[in-house]
Amino acid sequence: MITVALAKGALLKDSVARFAAAGLDFSAVLDKNNRQLMLPTPCGRARALLVRNGDVPTYVAYGQAQLGVVGFDVLNEHQLPVAQLVDLGFGGCRMAVAVKESSGYKRAADLPPHCRVASKFTHSARSFFNALDLPVELVHLNGSVELGPITGMSEAIVDLVATGRTLRENGLVAIEDLFHSTARLVGHPLAMRLDQGELREIVDAMRQASAIALEVA
What predicted TM-score, i.e. pTM, was given to this entire model? 0.91
Which segment of 29-33, 80-84, 146-150 scores lowest on mean pLDDT?
29-33
Residues 156 and 196 in one domain: no
Residues 50 and 153 in one domain: no
pLDDT tens by residue, 66-115: 999 999 999 999 999 999 999 999 999 999 999 999 999 999 999 999 99
Residues 19 and 81 in one domain: yes
Domain assignment of residue 154, given as a range: 93-180
Domains contained in the chain, number: 2
The pLDDT score that the predictor gives to residue 214 is 75
The pLDDT score that the predictor gives to residue 34 is 83
Helix residue ranges, H only, the chain: 12-21, 56-61, 72-78, 122-131, 147-151, 165-169, 189-194, 198-216
Residues 186 and 85 in one domain: yes
The pLDDT score that the predictor gives to residue 80 is 95
Query: At 109, is the secondary structure helix, strand, or coil?
Result: helix
Residues 114 and 176 in one domain: yes
CATH classification of the domain holding 29: 3.40.190.10
Residues 84 and 187 in one domain: yes
What average pLDDT does the segment 125-151 reach? 96
Residues 198 and 140 in one domain: no
**pLDDT confidence bin for 217, thresholds 50/70/90:** low
Task: Answer yes or no: is pLDDT of 119 > 80.
Answer: yes
